[in-house]
């Protein structure tokens, strides 16, 4: 499949790239008709009009700013879409400029890989004459340049497009470290029998694999056999979540060669999901039961997958006892801790759904066999809700005794605080421990929960400080090349594109490096991404957040709007900040799946009602042009503040107003009427919707953090009057 090919003057571009090093060192005065400093300033602000107004063949001038500047500019041009005249041509020249310059300098390995990857997408769509011209430009740069891995992959792509298969084999002779693209071109050129490993192995899913599958077409069945071809097609369908299509291909693969699934165990997992979500669970269960019998005592990793997915299918069929039996058998041969915890989680989750009264006993049976305590936080939260709603305080205390010495801090704080309040309200007789003992445990062990720590502190007159006075040492590993590449997005106006290059790779970076990226996002006012980056490292084992982490995690964004609007609505400013932080993470254009819009996530009908209320009171007419602009921060925050005030006037406390904000006033009344005798904080623990229950905690936790960080308040003081 070939698309329209970008066209630009090869001669002019070759001349520009050849002069790139000189242009950088000679300090050229202008870039695309602008003084160099002005061009740099505009690009840093994301203003690329001067680039779009220049001809494609002039793009190489951006190298005068920095080796990497053309790459980021290329991403910005590409993001404008191919419809604008010359954008594909401009982007291709920009990526090529950065790639060549980076390779000449022998640095910026990440830049080479990314620019090469962008060029690969163009190259595979160009027509043959353009491929020949591109190959000529590469091979005219000298032998040292041709040894760069990114250049080698691009040359192989050219050879493939030109039918020069022998040159591909010669190119990779003696090369041990081959990228997915390298393997794809080798495979397509030689038709090797390793096609099954390439398409069905455990390697990460790169662009090279679906592209190679399409290029092979019917030849794959001839080269590697029908079973491999069908399984590869099924694999590709599952990546797209096309479960029915994937199942059809897997059925064909099973018919052709059932043993293929035994050789590639990862396929068993995909087959299990295809049966589960592809509307054929009974068929899958029958197959896996047969495999279970045949695999007795053999291939434990494969047998684990068979038992695990048999359990998931039984669960979907609502055959819970049988499902639990499969998960229990799978647990005995789980290949790693994560898989073991997954089995236990399913067993406990089904118990909560069908026989919640028995779940506490099951926890006693399995707690010594689970590994990651936070993996079960949702199970323990749901169990706590059930036990509080049923007033089974003794059982709650029994569960707490099981988890006290081994669960995560947030869960321990939750159980300890609830028990402390139950004792103080006289709901547990006789009390297992004094209420203060429970509150002290919540205060001391609840580092992961601002809400329960602060609530406990308010009960005993203590101070809940969210950060310790002494900071532990943190991981100082260095990924300077990659970090520099990522910071380039902020230097050259592409901050809005940066997170896609970070989100799947955060484990490689130290907290210090990630904090640097969080600071860059915050400086660019991309608050949501800054919060996500902090989240990626703040939860690491042994890491303790610093005050600067908290500032990035709870940014005082849009303060010029939030503070006066909170004051006008007579609501605590820290509460409004907490609501916005929880609802939207300060992303003005965000929309929920149910249609809520903007910073305070208002539904259009609610927003219109609040706008009418503001107008009738003599305020601005936000619908003057016939439309509410809910993406406008000023409009959205004003409407959200008025709505929160409206709910506070109709409920008994700020907490109840928040619960109505999330769950609706009608539901809140129904929930509250059923639990009228419980104080507000314990009532929160009984709410049947996990989302609303957690929403109340999140907003109040954030409010406590905002009060502490910015308004000289203690966290316990913020929360003391909320319920």
Summarize pLDDT for 629-672 with one digit per residue, the tens: 999 999 999 999 999 999 999 998 999 999 999 999 999 999 99
CB-based contacts of 471-474 (< 8 A; 24+ apart in sequence): 471/544, 471/546, 472/542, 472/543, 472/544, 474/510, 474/511, 474/512, 474/543
Q: Cα(544)–Cα(481) distance, rounded to whole angstroms? A: 26
Q: Cα(421)–Cα(428) distance, rounded to whole angstroms? A: 10
CATH architecture of the domain with range 559-720: Orthogonal Bundle (1.10)
pLDDT of residue 192: 55
CA atoms in the 13 A half-sphere facing the CB of 721: 7
Q: Cα(310)–Cα(304) distance, rounded to whole angstroms? A: 10
Q: Which of 286-296 are b and which e, b meaning 16 or more Cβ less than 10 Å from the residue's Cβ?
A: ebbbebeeebe
Q: Which of 568-596 are b and which e, b meaning 16 or more Cβ less than 10 Å from the residue's Cβ?
A: ebebbbbbbbbbbbbbbbbbbebeeeeeb
Q: Cα(180)–Cα(207) distance, rounded to whole angstroms? A: 8
* Beta carbons of 152 and 181 less than 8 angstroms apart: no
pLDDT of residue 471: 55
Residue 326's contacts (CB-CB under 8 Å, 6 or more residues apart) are 307, 308, 310, 311, 314
Residue 143, classified by CB atoms within 10 Å of its CB into exposed (0-12), middle (13-18) or buried (19+), is exposed
Q: Cα(529)–Cα(587) distance, rounded to whole angstroms? A: 9
Q: Cα(662)–Cα(668) distance, rounded to whole angstroms? A: 9
Q: Cα(414)–Cα(404) distance, rounded to whole angstroms? A: 11
Model confidence over 526-541: pLDDT tens digits?
Answer: 999 999 999 999 888 7
* Beta carbons of 387 and 395 less than 8 angstroms apart: yes
Q: Which residues pair with 544 in a beta bridge?
A: none
Q: Cα(473)–Cα(477) distance, rounded to whole angstroms? A: 12
Biggest CA-to-CA distance, the chain = 90
Three-state SS sequence of 606-632: HHHHHHHHHHHCCCCCCCCCCCCCCCC
Candidates 387, 380, 367; CA nearest to 410 is 380
Residue 77, classified by CB atoms within 10 Å of its CB into exposed (0-12), middle (13-18) or buried (19+), is buried
Residue with token string 């790779």? 505
* Beta carbons of 101 and 63 less than 8 angstroms apart: yes
Q: Cα(452)–Cα(455) distance, rounded to whole angstroms? A: 5
Q: Which of 709-720 are b and which e, b meaning 16 or more Cβ less than 10 Å from the residue's Cβ?
A: bbeebbbbbbbe
pLDDT of residue 176: 82
Q: Cα(499)–Cα(532) distance, rounded to whole angstroms? A: 9
- CA dist 425 → 454, 551, 632, 675, 679 (Å): 19, 36, 46, 15, 9
Count CB-CB contacts under 10 A for residue 650. Answer: 13
Residues in the chain: 723
Q: Do you find a cis peptide bond into 226, omega within 30 degrees of 0?
A: no
pTM: 0.90
pLDDT of residue 142: 76
pLDDT of residue 283: 96
Q: Cα(198)–Cα(175) distance, rounded to whole angstroms? A: 17
DSSP 318: T
Q: Which residues pair with 602 in a beta bridge?
A: 597
pLDDT of residue 190: 80
pLDDT of residue 2: 40
- Report residue 550 as tokens: 């908290």
Domain boundaries, the chain: 10-190, 480-543, 559-720
Q: Cα(599)–Cα(640) distance, rounded to whole angstroms? A: 8
pLDDT of residue 205: 59
Q: Report the chain (723 residues): mean pLDDT per 10 consecutive residues.
A: 40 38 53 95 95 93 94 95 79 95 82 95 95 93 85 96 94 86 90 78 75 90 92 92 96 96 93 93 96 87 95 96 97 96 98 95 95 93 97 96 87 96 94 95 82 93 77 63 93 96 91 95 97 92 87 98 98 98 97 95 97 96 92 98 97 95 96 93 95 96 96 93 81
């Amino acid at each position: 499949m070939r698309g329209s090919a970008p066209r630009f003057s090869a001669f002019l571009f070759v001349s520009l790239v050849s002069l790139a090093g000189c242009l950088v060192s000679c300090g050229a005065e202008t870039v695309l008709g602008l003084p160099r400093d002005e061009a740099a300033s505009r690009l840093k602000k994301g203003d690329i009009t001067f680039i779009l107004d220049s001809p494609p063949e002039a793009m190489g001038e951006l190298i005068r700013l920095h080796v990497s500047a053309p790459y980021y500019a290329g991403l910005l041009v590409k993001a404008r879409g191919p419809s604008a005249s010359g954008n594909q041509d401009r982007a291709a020249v920009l990526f090529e400029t950065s790639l060549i310059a980076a390779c000449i300098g022998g640095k910026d390995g990440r830049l080479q890989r990314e620019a090469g990857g962008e060029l690969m997408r163009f190259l595979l769509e160009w027509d043959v004459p353009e491929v020949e011209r591109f190959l000529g430009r590469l091979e005219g740069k000298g032998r040292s340049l041709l040894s760069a891995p990114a250049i080698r992959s691009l040359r192989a792509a050219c050879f493939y497009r030109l039918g020069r298969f022998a040159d591909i084999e010669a190119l990779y002779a003696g090369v041990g470290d081959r990228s997915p693209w390298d393997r794809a071109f080798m495979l397509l050129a030689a038709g090797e029998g390793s096609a099954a490993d390439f398409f069905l192995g455990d390697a990460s899913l790169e662009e090279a694999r679906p592209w190679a599958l399409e290029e092979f077409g019917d030849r794959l069945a001839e080269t590697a056999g029908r079973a491999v071809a069908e399984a590869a097609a099924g694999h590709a369908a599952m990546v797209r979540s096309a479960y029915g299509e994937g199942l059809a291909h897997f059925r064909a693969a099973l018919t052709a060669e059932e043993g293929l699934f035994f050789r590639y165990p990862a396929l068993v997992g995909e087959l299990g999901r295809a049966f589960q979500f592809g509307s054929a669970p009974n068929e899958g269960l029958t197959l896996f039961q047969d495999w279970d019998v045949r695999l007795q005592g053999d291939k434990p990793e494969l047998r684990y997958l068979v038992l695990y997915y048999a359990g998931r299918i039984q669960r979907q069929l609502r055959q819970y006892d049988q499902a639990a039996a499969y998960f229990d058998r799978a647990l005995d041969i789980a290949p790693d801790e994560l898989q073991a915890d997954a089995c236990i989680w399913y067993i406990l989750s089904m118990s909560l759904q069908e026989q919640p009264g028995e779940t506490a006993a099951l926890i006693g049976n399995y707690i010594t066999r689970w590994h990651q305590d936070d993996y079960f936080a949702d199970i323990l939260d749901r169990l706590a809700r059930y036990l509080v709603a049923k007033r089974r305080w003794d059982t709650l205390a029994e569960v707490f005794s099981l988890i006290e010495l081994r669960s995560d801090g947030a869960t321990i704080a939750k159980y300890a605080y609830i028990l402390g309040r139950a004792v103080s309200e006289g709901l547990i007789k006789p009390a297992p421990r004094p209420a203060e003992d429970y509150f002290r445990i919540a205060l001391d062990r609840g580092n992961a929960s601002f809400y329960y720590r602060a609530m406990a502190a308010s009960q005993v007159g203590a101070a809940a400080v969210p950060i310790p006075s002494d900071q532990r040492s943190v991981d100082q590993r260095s990924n300077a090349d990659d970090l520099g590449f990522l910071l380039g997005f902020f230097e050259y106006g592409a901050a809005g594109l940066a997170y896609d290059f970070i989100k799947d790779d955060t484990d490689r970076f130290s907290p210090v490096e990630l904090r640097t990226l969080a600071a860059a996002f915050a400086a660019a006012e991309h608050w949501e991404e800054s919060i996500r980056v902090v989240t990626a490292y703040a939860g690491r084992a042994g890491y303790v957040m610093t005050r600067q982490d908290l500032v990035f995690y709870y940014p005082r964004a849009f303060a010029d709007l939030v503070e006066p609007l909170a004051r006008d609505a007579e609501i605590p400013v820290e509460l409004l900040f907490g609501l916005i932080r929880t609802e939207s993470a300060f992303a003005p254009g965000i929309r929920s799946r149910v249609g809520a819009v903007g910073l305070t996530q208002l539904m259009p009908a609610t927003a219109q009602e609040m706008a009418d209320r503001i107008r009738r009171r003599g305020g601005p007419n936000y619908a003057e042009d016939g439309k509410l602009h809910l993406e406008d921060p000023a409009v959205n925050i004003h409407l959200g503040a008025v709505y929160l005030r409206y709910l506070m006037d109709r409920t008994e406390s700020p907490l109840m107003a928040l619960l109505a904000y999330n769950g609706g006033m009608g539901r809140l009344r129904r929930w509250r009427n059923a639990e009228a005798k419980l104080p507000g904080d314990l009532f929160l623990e009984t709410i049947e919707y996990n989302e609303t229950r957690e929403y109340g905690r999140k907003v109040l936790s954030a409010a406590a953090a905002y009060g502490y960080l910015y308004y000289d308040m203690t966290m316990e003081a913020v929360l003391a009057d909320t319920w």
